[in-house]
Copies of this chain bind each other. A is one copy, B any other.
Amino acid sequence: MLNAKVKWVDGLQFVGESGTGHAIVMDGDAEVGGKDTGMRPMELLLIGIGGCSGMDVASILQKKKQQLKGIDINVKGEKSDTYPKKFTEIEIEFTVSGKDLSEDAVKRAVELSMEKYCSVKATLEGVAKINFSYKIVNTA
């Protein structure tokens, strides 16, 4: 069981505190009456899927003793035009960089996250179609 508390501050500004004790500010766009002092709630889903899959990939590649230098994940979400404007499609692009990275190890790590481990992906994919791709950058 995970939990969170979300508290209204003012206008459309809210502070969310997670059960593990970390906090974040959320706010709306100016065009809907917010002041943009923090993220949009829908952005949290994109960051969540990036973080979740990134942790899987980092964890698997570190266990495989890969010389990892970086993992960058770009996430894009397409919303429906009509209310409730849910995500219809999410695209995740992984860029994994390191030294002498095994292409097979990276491919396997990304696939294991996407197909087996990533809880956020598994929660979102009931509604949103999720696509992913990866590239490997081997540096000296």
A interface, CB within 8 angstroms of B: 1-8, 11-12, 14, 16-20, 22, 24-26, 28-29, 32-34, 36, 38-52, 54-55, 58-59, 62, 68, 70-79, 83-87, 116-128
Residue of B nearest to A5 (CB): B74
Interface residues of A, dominant DSSP: mixed
Q: Which listed residue, B7, B42, B87, B119, touches A84 by the CB 8 Å rule?
A: B119
Return chain B residues, CB-CB under 8 Å to A25. Answer: 22
CA–CA, A125 to B126, complex, Å? 8
CA–CA, A68 to B46, complex, Å? 31
Question: With contacts A22-B38, A26-B51 known, what are 10 further pairs, Cβ within 8 A?
Answer: A1-B79, A5-B50, A5-B75, A6-B47, A8-B54, A8-B58, A20-B43, A41-B50, A42-B52, A42-B119
